[in-house]
Amino acid sequence: MIIDAHQHFWNLQQVAYPWLDQSDAPICKTIEAADLEPLLSAAGIDKTVIVQAANSYEDTDYMLRTAASHKWVGGVVGWVPLNIPFAARAKLEQYTQNPLFKGVRHLIHDERDNDWVVRESVIEGLKALAEFGMTFDVVAVFPNHLKHVPVLAKRVPELKMVIDHMAKPPIKDKQMGLWAEQMKQAAQYPNVHVKISGLNTAADWETWSAADLRPYIDFALEQFGADRMIFGSDWPVANLAGDYAKVWEETNRAIGEYSESERSAILGGTAAKFYNIASD
């Protein structure tokens, strides 16, 4: 299977997305499955994972409804209030009855407290997530949150985690430095994975290409190995700096010299294992 393990939908009439405004004009509108389907077909994508775009039950319920009516959706990464463990457990009891519910994400980078994810209450919420066998997508935006990933990995070692968007490395500035050091630390923990997603919007929006992405993806391969690397388009956010086809093509160019088994893992195999996605 070829899996796009990070894409979004939003319906502005049904769900509130506080972060979305006219500064994001190309994507500040209702964007749903019918808009993505032809792009998946053109790229040869078999399955996708819809990832939360709001810290709300309404967003999760909307994604699950969408997934139920489209066979190419392999899973949903939703939301529960991790900082309120008893409430998180109650909703997990409900959501995990749906086999399409695969894990949880929280928009950590929208919290005023950069240390939100390592609060004791959140750690307890993450332990509940692990008990239910669910995954955690970490919005570990560098430099404020990536440093916390080793802490989470040590405190909740049974929790499968994935660092979204490779923590937004400083691609535009052509730097590695502290980002590379923190990624190397995170990679020491076998329960931590990484997503090759959202890299185009971390680069120069006008001129980026595979050549800009390759050093960062190569570094991730050295540290994590392909069996802990997952491809995601980050569509439709990707449209701010290109489009679906360009992200797909340039990512494939960036990993073009990898072995067949490495490419297979990155483009689907790892995601299938991480999110427990079965082929039809």
Are 251 and 232 within 8 A, CB to CB? no
Mean pLDDT, residues 96-117 taken together: 96
Question: Percent of the chain having pLDDT more than 90?
Answer: 96
Residue 279 lies in a domain: no
Distance CA 91, CA 199 (A): 32
pTM of the model: 0.97
pLDDT band at 141 (very low <50, low <70, confident <90, very high): confident
Residue 280 lies in a domain: no
β-pairing, 192-196 vs 73-78, is: unpaired
Token output for 222: 């050295």
Residue 207 lies in a domain: yes
Residue 109 lies in a domain: yes
What are 191-229's pLDDT values in tens digits? Answer: 999 999 999 999 999 999 999 999 999 999 999 999 999
Give the count of domains, the chain: 1
In terms of Cβ atoms closer than 10 Å to its own Cβ (0-12, 13-18, 19+), residue 59 is buried
Are 77 and 51 within 8 A, CB to CB? yes
pLDDT mean across residues, the chain: 97
Residue 239 lies in a domain: yes
Residue 190 lies in a domain: yes
Residue 133 lies in a domain: yes
Q: Between the CA of residue 1 and those of 165, 219, 279, what are the distances in Å?
A: 21, 25, 7
Question: Percent of the chain having pLDDT more than 70?
Answer: 100
- pLDDT at residue 51 is higher than 90: yes
Distance CA 52, CA 137 (A): 10
* Domain range for 189: 3-274
Question: Cα Rg for the chain, rounded, in angstroms?
Answer: 17
Query: What local confidence, expressed as pLDDT, does residue 22 receive?
Result: 82
Query: What local confidence, expressed as pLDDT, does residue 25 receive?
Result: 87
Residue 119 lies in a domain: yes
160 Cβ contact partners less than 8 Å away, ≥ 6 residues apart: 103, 135, 136, 191, 193, 274
CATH number at residue 16: 3.20.20.140
- pLDDT at residue 107 is higher than 90: yes
